[in-house]
Amino acid sequence: MDKKRHIAIFTTASLPWLTGTAVNPLFRAAYLAKDGDRKVTLVIPWLSLKHQKLVYPNNITFSSPSEQEAHVRQWLEERIPFVAHFSICFYPGKFAVDKGSILAAGDISEVIPDEEADIAILEEPEHLTWFHHGKRWKTKFRLVIGIVHTNYLEYVKREKHGRVKAFMLKYANSWVVDIYCHKVIRLSAATQDYSKSIICNVHGVNPKFLEIGLQSRRHDFTKGTYYIGKMVWSKGYKELLKLLCDHQKELAELEVDLYGSGEDSGHVQEAAKELELVVRVNPGRDHADPVFHDYKVFLNPSTTDVVCTTTAEALAMGKIVICANHPSNDFSSSFPNCRTYDNSNEFVTAARKNMEDASAYLHYVVSGLEVSRRAFGAFPGSLQPDKEQRQELGLAIPAGK
Among 145, 179, 199, which residue terminates a domain? 199
Q: Are residues 189 and 115 in the same domain?
A: yes
Confidence (pLDDT) at 28: 97
> For residue 252, is it within any domain?
yes
Tell me the per-residue pLDDT of 213-229, one tens digit each, with 9 for 90 and over: 888 766 677 888 999 99
High-pLDDT (> 70) share of the chain, %? 92
Q: Are residues 234 and 350 in the same domain?
A: yes
Confidence (pLDDT) at 399: 72
> For residue 380, is it within any domain?
no
Mean pLDDT value across the chain: 90
Output 90 or 365, whichever has higher pLDDT: 90
Question: How far is the CA of 250 from the CAs of 21, 150, 175, 246, 325, in angstroms?
Answer: 37, 34, 48, 9, 21
Confidence (pLDDT) at 303: 87
- CA distance linking residue 166 with residue 157, whole number of Å: 6
**Which domain does 72 fall in, by range?**
6-199
> For residue 398, is it within any domain?
no
Tell me the per-residue pLDDT of 15-46, one tens digit each, with 9 for 90 and over: 999 888 999 999 999 999 999 999 999 999 99
Among 135, 167, 199, which residue terminates a domain? 199
Q: Are residues 62 and 192 in the same domain?
A: yes
Tell me the per-residue pLDDT of 226-277, one tens digit each, with 9 for 90 and over: 999 989 998 899 999 999 999 999 999 899 999 998 889 999 999 999 999 9
One-letter amino acid for residue 300 of the chain: N
Residue 364 has pLDDT above 80, yes or no: no
Q: Are residues 223 and 189 in the same domain?
A: no
Q: Are residues 254 and 180 in the same domain?
A: no
Residue 365 has pLDDT above 70, yes or no: no
Tell me the per-residue pLDDT of 133-165, one tens digit each, with 9 for 90 and over: 999 999 999 999 999 999 999 889 988 999 999
Confidence (pLDDT) at 372: 66
Residue 1 has pLDDT above 50, yes or no: no
> For residue 78, is it within any domain?
yes
Strand order in the sheet with 5-10: 101-104, 87-96, 38-46, 5-10, 119-123, 143-148, 183-186, 197-199
Q: Are residues 115 and 131 in the same domain?
A: yes
> For residue 312, is it within any domain?
yes
Quote the pTM value.
Answer: 0.78
Asked if 179 contacts 129 with a C-beta cutoff of 8 angstroms, the reply is yes
Q: What is the total count of domains within the chain?
A: 2
Under DSSP, is residue 345 helix (H, G, I), strand (E, B) or coil?
A: helix
Q: Are residues 88 and 170 in the same domain?
A: yes
High-pLDDT (> 90) share of the chain, %? 69
Q: Are residues 222 and 334 in the same domain?
A: yes
Confidence (pLDDT) at 320: 92
- CATH number, domain of 159, equals 3.40.50
Q: Are residues 330 and 360 in the same domain?
A: yes
Q: Cα-atom radius of gyration of the chain, to the nearest Å?
A: 25
> For residue 397, is it within any domain?
no
Residues in the chain: 401
> For residue 16, is it within any domain?
yes
Confidence (pLDDT) at 383: 75
Q: Are residues 137 and 262 in the same domain?
A: no
Q: Are residues 150 and 233 in the same domain?
A: no
Of 184, 212, 180, the C-alpha closest to 196 is 184
Phi, psi of 233 (to 5 degrees): -55, -40
Confidence (pLDDT) at 219: 65
Among 199, 218, 252, which residue terminates a domain? 199
> For residue 329, is it within any domain?
yes
Q: Are residues 188 and 278 in the same domain?
A: no
Under DSSP, is residue 327 helix (H, G, I), strand (E, B) or coil?
A: helix
Could you tell me the sign of the dihedral formed by the alpha carbons of 101, 106, 109, 110, in that order? negative
- CATH number, domain of 337, equals 3.40.50.2000
